[in-house]
Amino acid sequence: MYEAVKHFRISGDGLYSQKCNDFFKYNYKFKNNFLTPSCTAALEMTALLMNIKPGDEVIMPSFTFVSCANAFVLRGATIRFIDSNCNEPNIDVSKIEALVNKNTKAIIAVHYAGIPCDIDELIRIKKKYSLVLIEDCAHAIDSYYKNKPLGSFGDFSTFSFHDTKNITCGEGGLLVVNNKKYVKRAEIIREKGTDRAAFFRGEIKKYSWIDIGSSYLLSDLSAAYLYGQLTSIKTIQSKRIKIFNRYSANLNNFSKYFKIPESFIGKKYNGHMFYIILKSSKERSSLIEYLDMKNIQAVSHYVPLHNSKFYKEKHIVDSCKNADLFSKRLLRLPLHPYLKMNNIDDICENILNFYKIL
């Protein structure tokens, strides 16, 4: 960060933004990278690039963060929510085709907890109906599907570097544009609707207003922090994965009391999140309270968007039973790189104590 300041250039697309872009290019083979102030901003850029307008429909899981829907609702789109799989929160791809119609423009795949959605099936549907596929990779940096990094499959992929994510710069995001047809305009929309990026490359003498847009650049101060994180990504990820595996080993055999997703066992993910599924929301509240007394912060997750105050009041929505279930019963356990193995053992012991298993 001091380097960024020393270079007297801390606005967007400076030295450290370039270094971050090169990192993504080199490590994940992402060719067109646009650092943004947030994943939310990356999703908003996507909606602008797609020329989303009133009447358009976008398909996404209900069990996701509000920005997925909000970015498209801002452009006037109607959201069609799909339920989660019964055994884990990712989008149930078998339910997508029934909702596709002539107004459908895109599908958003959210790789919940860094676990890949069924990419092969999503690509088949995308091709069959000529839809745009967007991967929300907010949880999914450095996670892979058939040896290819998540974020390589969508026309667009969005990442978050918010504090709560594996790699962070406080607030930050990345839009990866894999479909070449959108690259040029992405540059313009991100620079307030101007061709300033081409001007900085020396391709034109003056830049001017040529399209709609907004300010979607990440400060180079934040990019400098982000680059520091990226250079430590191997250490960060290996610590998170070690913690994930410890939870998995410690809590694997108690399905009579709570479940851990089958998709967690014996697989290599990015250690973004470890959660368990309890029998009822009442039991979850008691366990949260019990752990809180021991200074352990375990937390629930999303209120499904189909059930949100904002959406429910305005639309008739399809039911999403599994999303409701995860909303009521999923419990995230503490996971950050500073936790030691004995902390994890202690957390697990407390959970087992709660159930009087020990």
Interface residues with ligand PLP (CB under 6 A) are 38-40, 64-65, 67-68, 110, 136, 138-139, 160, 162, 173
C-alpha–C-alpha distance, residues 222 and 225, integer Å:
5
C-alpha–C-alpha distance, residues 25 and 176, integer Å:
10
For 31-61, give the DSSP string: -SEEEES-HHHHHHHHHHHTT--TT-EEEEE
- C-beta closer to ligand PLP: residue 38 or 222: 38
- C-beta closer to ligand PLP: residue 41 or 348: 41
- C-beta closer to ligand PLP: residue 43 or 251: 43
Is 6 exposed, middle or buried, given 0-12, 13-18 or 19+ CB atoms closer than 10 A? exposed
Q: How far is the CB of 125 from ligand PLP (least distance, A)?
A: 20
For 44: left if phi > 0, alpha if psi spans -120 to 50, otherwise beta; the answer is alpha
Q: What backbone torsions phi and psi does residue 43 show, to the nearest 5 degrees?
A: -70, -40
Q: What are the residues whose beta carbons fall under 8 Å from the beta carbon of 261, sequence distance 6 or more?
A: 87, 88, 115, 275, 277
Q: How far is the CB of 195 from ligand PLP (least distance, A)?
A: 27
Q: How far is the CB of 100 from ligand PLP (least distance, A)?
A: 22
The SS3 assignment for 157 reads strand
Q: What backbone torsions phi and psi does residue 306 show, to the nearest 5 degrees?
A: -65, -25
Q: How far is the CB of 37 from ligand PLP (least distance, A)?
A: 8
- C-beta closer to ligand PLP: residue 158 or 237: 158
- C-beta closer to ligand PLP: residue 52 or 109: 109
Q: How far is the CB of 46 from ligand PLP (least distance, A)?
A: 12
Q: How far is the CB of 212 from ligand PLP (least distance, A)?
A: 21
By C-alpha distance, which of 301, 353, 349 is closest to 323? 301
Q: How far is the CB of 124 from ligand PLP (least distance, A)?
A: 23
- C-beta closer to ligand PLP: residue 69 or 251: 69
Check: CB of residue 90 under 8 Å from CB of residue 117.
yes
Q: How far is the CB of 38 from ligand PLP (least distance, A)?
A: 3
CB atoms within 10 A of CB 218: 27
CB crowding 35-46: b at 16 or more within 10 Å, else e = bbbbbbbbbbbb
- C-beta closer to ligand PLP: residue 39 or 48: 39
By C-alpha distance, which of 210, 333, 222 is closest to 271? 333
- C-beta closer to ligand PLP: residue 92 or 195: 92
